[in-house]
Amino acid sequence: MRSQRDLENELRQLRSQLKRLTSEVERNTRILRVSQERELTLLNAEDIASLLHVLLDGLRDSYRLDAVSVVLADPDHNVRHLLLASGHEPEEFPGLTFVDSLGGMAPQFVALTRPWLGRYMKADHALILPPDLGLSSVALLPLMHKGRLLGSLNFGSKDDDRFTALHATDFFSHLGVIASFSLENVLNRARLLRSGHTDFLTGWHNRRYLQLRLKEELARASREQTTLVCLMLDIDHFKRINDSYGHAAGDEVLREVAQRIESQVRVSDVAARFGGEEFVVLLPATDFAAARALAERIRASISASPVSVNAEQSEIITTSIGIATCAAPPQGADLKSLGESLLARADVALYRAKSEGRDRVAVE
């Protein structure tokens, strides 16, 4: 028969165990609540920028991580264009990396279909998480869509035991699915929004989109004290193409010219079909000499080789280009009026290029 002392010792042990279990339950409840709240925030993100802030900043703060990064494969720059179209630069999001291919980013990407947890190895992981933070363990969560790897959400910790191969990965798998779904959701929203700003024939942005971006780029020029340059382009003798070969041939010329212009502009530039045979390219943070050189490259690229107008015939197409520049607007300036003035001055320069013989660049 156990003594009273034995019973008291056992009772103390049970109370201690109960206290420990209660504390663990409370901790797990807090983690679950934080996880559920964060997942709802991910799912409710309205746009790409909001989602990136939640992924990079929200998850780092919620889970007390030393580093969080997102790597996205974007070979055609589609996601980057959508982000830029929303008025945000990739550089605004420390920890975000766009790559043309995931190959070579980390060995785990070769077969990353489930979360990978383990030691941080500089040779393996320096491209996805900063090598100068003293990280000891990492978790790589695949971002998937229809069985295809889009990229990864990456956690880093200075604690050796925070992420190990011995940890269960159910939580990370679930979070990766939520993040993947949220990413595809905001990208689809952005694509839908962009469809209302897209010219059906060329696939370029349309005039409506240009008006929105023009105001945004002027606001940025004001903040950063930089220059905004506008190129206005017009296809020479376009009416003759339509009259001689028909409107189908004219459409093909428009598409080909748009492609040749696009081959010369930068990702950060804003290109739009202004209407008819006119195109506009906005060049943020660009000086006059660089803008003039780009305009000449575009003009030369368009006339470099004939454009097929039907199965048997082709035509050399030339363009006239007008350039206008806007210095950094002062704070509080009327950006709408400034934008209209910039377009009007570029149009005046374009008219001068045409009146002086076409197939040339003129400056307002």
Residues noted as catalytic? 277
- Pair of tokens at residue 269: 């530039």
| Mutual angle of helices 335-355 and 207-224, in 10-degree steps | 110
H helices of 225-334, where? Answer: 238-245, 247-262, 288-303
- DSSP H or E run through 153: strand 148-157
DSSP string, 151-176: EEEEEEES-TTTS-TTS--HHHHHHH
- The DSSP 8-state label assigned to residue 54 in this structure reads I
Q: Amino acid identity, residue 44?
A: N
Taken in order 349, 355, 356, 358, the sign of the CA dihedral is: positive
CA dihedral (239, 240, 241, 245) positive or negative? positive
CA–CA gap between residue 308 and residue 305 (Å, rounded): 10
Helix (H/G/I), strand (E/B), else coil: 109: helix
Amino acid at 282: L
The residue type at 78: N
At 199, list the tokens.
């010219």
Neighbours of 104 (CB within 10 A): 10
239-263 burial, b for 16+ CB within 10 Å, e for fewer? Answer: eebeeebeeebbebbbebbbebbbe
CA dist 146 and 140 (Å) reads: 19
Q: H-helix or E-strand containing 220? A: helix 207-224
Scan for tokens 């409107």, then name that residue.
247
